[in-house]
Amino acid sequence: MRKSILIILAMVMLIVTVSSQAFSGPVVLKGVTAFPKNHMNNDPVQMFIDKINEKAAGKVKIEWVGGPEVIKTFDQAQALKMGMIDVLLYYPFGYMKSVMPESWCKGLSELAEWEERKTGAFEVWSEIIDKRLDAKYIGRFHSLVPFTLFSNKEIRKVTDLKGMKIRVMPLYIPFIKALGAAPVTIPPPEIYTSLERGVVDGFIWPDVGMASFGLQEVTKYVIRPGFFQIEPATMISNKKWNKIPADVQGIIMEVMQDMEYIASMRNQLLVMKEDRIRNKAGMQTIQLAPDQAAEIQRIAADKTWEYVTGMAPEYAPKLKKLTSKSALPKGTFPWQD
């Protein structure tokens, strides 16, 4: 009799456990992006969400609730840390200096994200983001697209930048100052009116995305080559990440690694589209002479690494080493020399 009762109790407990799991519903992750939903930089975000929601159906559901209209762009990293939002789906590292002094190192990387996964840099970033933001680093959608200087003044030499007012995000401030220009920090949606009113003479933006703000209408020149590279982070708060089943965590990481290739390839196509938009608007492209191009890139790298190393002595030297081309083991990828 006693044995029968124990068996019945065990069966009841099993049924309750299974029922609880069946009706608890998926872990819902509410996410935001630094830019409005229709911005070109967000191109891979919905694809990523759809893949996760399909592969993890019933266990996890990502909801993209909006962009800066939900939480102001420069407040989003702090919002993630405080648990006000679950996911930053697309958020530039360069916007995170106030909560993560190492953040500027990312734009200085010489490697694509899939290459950083082979040198140990990805693990270092995971450690930093866990420590600074109490979040899980998922990866970086876009690699290999440089930041570009857009100007309303003709620039042929590095010295032409002296005295110019350039809209920047914090990442560019040290080297813009070194060039003798005045950095001006303003939110992305205000760049258009700032150019119209002469508040700034130019701005720096990745080679894709400026047309989403209509900036080709108020800008005359594209100055090439660019410098640094685009560096959008995707992060999930640890509070929510730890509620996600281990198998689904694996799915999320696997999808992100696939998307890093897909998104970067699509971004190259978007750059070509933006070039057509800029040309149609009458913008001119100025290709700096080799010596001037080398000089501006040298100043950008040297001055920014110098500044970041002073700000983040614990991690910056390590990241500089692990994100250099020399850190990638020979033969890792078939396209290596």
User: Domains (ranges, CATH) in the chain?
Assistant: 27-144+230-269 (3.40.190.170), 147-227+280-323 (3.40.190.170)
Q: Would you state the structure tokens that stand for residue 232, as one six-digit string? A: 């959008």
Mean pLDDT over the full length of the chain: 92
Confidence bin at 12 (pLDDT 50/70/90): very low
| Least confident segment among 36-40, 168-172, 177-181 | 168-172
pLDDT digits (tens, 9 = 90+) for 206-262: 999 999 999 999 999 999 999 999 999 999 999 999 999 999 999 999 999 999 999
Residue 24 scores a pLDDT above 80: no
pTM, 2 dp: 0.85
- Within its chain, how far is the Cα of 126 from the centroid? 14
C-alpha closest to that of 49 among 38, 35, 60: 60
- End-to-end CA distance of the chain: give it in Å, rounded: 76
* DSSP helix/strand/coil, 201: coil
Is there a cis peptide before residue 225, judged by omega within 30 degrees of 0?
Answer: yes
Calpha distance 152→191 (Å, rounded): 13
Calpha distance 229→221 (Å, rounded): 20
Confidence bin at 337 (pLDDT 50/70/90): confident
Percent of the chain predicted with pLDDT > 90? 85
Calpha distance 71→58 (Å, rounded): 28
Q: Are 284 and 221 in contact (CB under 8 A)?
A: yes
Cβ neighbors of 35 (< 8 A, separation 6 or more) are 41, 42, 67, 68, 73, 90, 188, 209, 212
Calpha distance 256→113 (Å, rounded): 11
Identify the DSSP state of 156: -
The sign one gets for the Cα dihedral 36, 69, 170, 130 is negative
- Within its chain, how far is the Cα of 40 from the centroid? 13
Calpha distance 113→142 (Å, rounded): 8
Q: Are 14 and 58 in contact (CB under 8 A)?
A: no
List beta partners, residue 165.
182
pLDDT digits (tens, 9 = 90+) for 158-169: 999 999 999 998
Residue 3 scores a pLDDT above 80: no
Confidence bin at 55 (pLDDT 50/70/90): very high
pLDDT digits (tens, 9 = 90+) for 298-312: 999 999 999 999 999
C-alpha closest to that of 145 among 293, 274, 34, 330: 274
* DSSP helix/strand/coil, 88: strand
Cβ neighbors of 43 (< 8 A, separation 6 or more) are 263, 266, 267, 270
Half-sphere exposure of 303 (CA within 13 A, CB side): 17
